[in-house]
Amino acid sequence: MELKNYIKIKRALLSVTDKTNLLSLAKCLSELGCELISTGGTAKVLSEAGIKYTEIGTVTGNPEAFGGRMKTISFAIESALLFDREKDKEEAERLGISPIDLVVCNLYDFEKYVRAGSGLSELIEHIDVGGPTMIRAGAKNFKYVAVVTDPKDYAGIIEELTTNEGALSYNTKQRLMTKAFNLTADYDAAIAQAMDKFSGEDSLRIALKGGKPLRYGENSHQQATMYRRSSSEHSLYDVSSYNGIELSYNNILDMQAAIETVVTLNRQGCVIVKHNNPCGMAESNSQLNSLELAWAGDTVSAFGGIVAFNTLVDLPTARFFEYDNEDKSKKKFIELITAPAFTDEALQYLKLQKNLRIVTYLPEMLSASNELRVTNDMALLQSTDNKLSSKMELATKNEFPLEEWESLISFGLAAVRHIKSNAIALVRATGDGVLQLIGMGSGQPNRLDSIGLAIKKAKKNLNVSSFENEQIVLISDAFFPFEDNVDAANEVGIKTLVQPGGSIRDKYVIERANSYGMNMILTGIRHFKH
């Protein structure tokens, strides 16, 4: 190793709230001849393990005081971390300051008490002051000082110390410095946000990291970057890619819409998304059958779309795309295919399409409880739309076997929830529990136009002029404001309508449905998506 890039760790300060795996690091340091300085609870853990250490008061010249509020903050400690080992060397010696080369510190879990709903006085007691001070001091002087704030880093630090006779590299110290400053920034943001709330003003401070340039934005002349929320345990940022060119802004939005929709399906499900709208969707007991039905739901829109599955993709499903067909016109062009996993055979087959993006995800990546939209120097925050319905109420007079139709209705609600408003989904059951999206209308300023688009698409897909004797449901994302919506459905033989209800004209809409002998189910939940 090049010694000039490594610093020998001769003296370390250990002061941690989370003591996970601390002893393994402390033992390693001690065995390498490093002097350990420790505080309070951390010192007790070292003592019980028989690891020699120096009490913090021996260095500071002062006892711990004020119920533990004062432990490490002192001229001696901060100087030992901050002084420049070259230009300040003589002054440090004159002042009797011995360098500290390593700080192992994590902070009071302030956010734990925020989540628990603690009052202001209790929260104040869980604001760490000494810890951030040490961390920032050591991080500022990272050329000479290593700052370890995460127990997950201990194993790597131990390996490097052992390999390099107790020394750490400049690159390691720089990486730890970056992590340290992110920790204190997030910590201060959490405190400020909590204090703002107690002062009567909500604020939102979000830390994003890992800026990753995308191929382009919504259009090729726009630049785009993807970030990961620092505090998120799971994120779609972490999907794994196995093939194809880099992702674009639109790919990610469409992929998110596809995955969010397909994970709500109960059996072997497939969803095809184009321009952020599900245009094909099916579930059955066969993955290949579900893909075939989803594709048949809108073969034109499926071109260049995103295909998502909720189960492992096998070779028979992969072969549907005909990437080994010598007739290029037979190959089905899609931008991206995503699933929880692919068999090796399926993966190798799909890689025949050089530019096809192949992505795996974990269902827990969709676990976020809030949605954030940032635009034009403002932000909008809302809870996720994760509830299909609050009731299943038959509002019309006909006898109707609602329980027998409930799975089809839920399937349609799962589709309409992700279609841009005004949204209409036409879904059908074809036997053996097979469910299929056969037509959808989206993004229209009025609901009647969306109904017209959905009906037109479904007629073309099924090659029919009406839907008499079909087990078909028309799902609306919001209430029917006028009776003309009911008229349009009745004209083509659709007899079952699902809507949230809530209009001041519900009475008249329901009366019109009764006059046609139709079934109308109210769900109580609207699903606008803009």
Residues designated catalytic: 140, 275
**d(Cα 134, Cα 82) in Å, to the nearest integer?**
9
**d(Cα 282, Cα 431) in Å, to the nearest integer?**
13
Spatial neighbors of 34 by CB under 8 A, at least 6 apart, are 9, 10, 11, 12, 102, 166
| 3-class DSSP assignment, residue 7 | strand
| 3-class DSSP assignment, residue 437 | strand
Which residue(s) pair with 306 in the sheet?
A: 273, 336
| 3-class DSSP assignment, residue 255 | helix
| 3-class DSSP assignment, residue 246 | coil
Q: What is the DSSP string of 116-141?
A: TT--HHHHHHT--SHHHHHHHHHHHT
Q: Could you tell me which of 283, 242, 237 has the C-alpha nearest to residue 263?
A: 283
Q: CB of 450 within 8 A of CB of 500?
A: no
Which residue(s) pair with 94 in the sheet?
A: none
Q: What is the DSSP string of 489-508?
A: HHHTT--EEEE----TTHHH
Which residue(s) pair with 102 in the sheet?
A: 12, 146
**d(Cα 246, Cα 213) in Å, to the nearest integer?**
9
If one counts every other C-beta atom within 10 angstroms of the C-beta of residue 314, the result is: 18
Query: What percent helix, strand, coil does the chain show, rounded to 5?
Result: 40, 20, 40
**d(Cα 234, Cα 263) in Å, to the nearest integer?**
15
Q: Which two tokens stand for residue 323?
A: 């990437």
Q: CB of 36 within 8 A of CB of 46?
A: yes
Q: CB of 126 within 8 A of CB of 168?
A: no
